[in-house]
Amino acid sequence: MKGPGTVIFLRSILRSCRRKASLVLIAFMLGMSNAILEETRMINDTREHLEQQEIEPEDDGLDASVPYES
């Protein structure tokens, strides 16, 4: 015959196992959710893109007023 302490001990072990299993499943589902969200963002790409334009000077850097000696 089991004593009352044994029943309480078994319940606490069962409760902790359920809690740990629940945490593992929650972590797995959260990771999968983030992976699916990232894949959806890559496919649809709804975020705005900011483009930075490079401003080039109009002259090419060569001074035409310098006389060349030959």
Q: Where are the domains of the chain?
A: 1-43
The number of C-alpha atoms within 13 Å of 47 and in the hemisphere containing its C-beta is: 9
Q: Are 47 and 41 in contact (CB under 8 A)?
A: yes
For 3-28, how does the pLDDT look when each residue is reduced to its tens digit (9 = 90+)?
778 889 999 999 999 999 999 999 99
Q: Is the dihedral of CA 14, 17, 23, 24 positive or negative?
A: negative
Give the residue with greater pLDDT, 51 vs 34. 34
What is the reported pTM?
Answer: 0.52
